[in-house]
Structure formats: C-alpha cells, structure tokens
Copies of this chain bind each other. A is one copy, B any other.
Amino acid sequence: MKFTIIVNNAPYLSQSSDTACKFAQALLEQGHELVQVFFYFDGVLNALDNSEPPQDDRDVIENWSKLAEENELDLIICSSAALRRGVSDKLAVGFKSDSLGRFSKAVTLSDRVISFGT
C-alpha cells in the first residue's frame, strides 16, 4: 500500500514527530511504500541543521535523516512555511524544500494520507 505522511508539529515541542518517524519505520518494515513525508506548519522546523539535543535524550532530526538515508526517502518541507519561519537553505540530511505542488503529486499517488500532530 502507498502512504503519504504529514508531520505538522515542531520536534520536541510535541511527540508527534517522534511518533510519525516510528510509524514510517513500521510501515516500511511491513513492505509498504512511503511516497513522501511532507512537513507543514511548524513541522518544517524538523529540518533545522546542526541540532544538538542533550546526550541522554533522543535526536529527533537525526532519526529522520537516518530513516531517509536507509530507505531513500523524500523528506519534503513546504517551502513557503519554511521561508516564513526562517528555515534556511541549509537543511539536515535527507530534507528538501519544495512546493505544495510536490505534495499534491504525492497525494495523487497515495492510498493513505496520514497526519501527525497540529
């Protein structure tokens, strides 16, 4: 089955980004296809480069980067939401900035679109 996942919240402020990442991992392990992970609203803040969480806590952004690398995933942040918030061109590994049009294409190709947070 073909999934698109939407991440609507900033990392750390909300557990939603963590849950979305665990969910994405589980669906990939089950052999499903992840068409796109789209980051909207404050979700675009998941792409900030060079975050350094405390050593004894998890690294939300790195978890996404790893998942993207291992599975050749598209992690797309909405360019206009990112521009508004000052998320610059230098993004964490695996993230790309693109338009709502790119998201719209993912919707076309998907059997399920699942939102995490807001």
Question: Could you list which residues of chain A lie within 8 angstroms of chain B, going by C-beta atoms?
Answer: 10-13, 41-42, 45, 48-54, 57, 61, 80, 83-88, 92
Interface of A is mostly: loop
- Of B41, B52, B84, the residue contacting A51 (CB under 8 A) is B84
Known: A49-B86, A86-B61. A42 touches B13 (CB 8 A): yes
Q: Within 8 Å CB of A61, what residues of B?
A: 86
The docked-state distance in angstroms from the alpha carbon of A51 to that of B44 is: 13
Task: Report if A85-B42 is in contact (Cβ < 8 Å); known contacts: A10-B10, A10-B13, A13-B10.
Answer: no
A60 CA to B85 CA in the complex, in Å? 9
Compute how far the CA of A57 lies from the CA of B80 in the bound complex, rounded to whole angstroms: 13
* Other contacts beyond A10-B45, A54-B80: 19, CB < 8 A: A10-B13, A10-B85, A12-B42, A12-B84, A12-B85, A13-B41, A13-B42, A42-B42, A45-B85, A48-B85, A48-B86, A49-B88, A51-B84, A51-B86, A52-B86, A53-B84, A54-B84, A61-B86, A86-B92
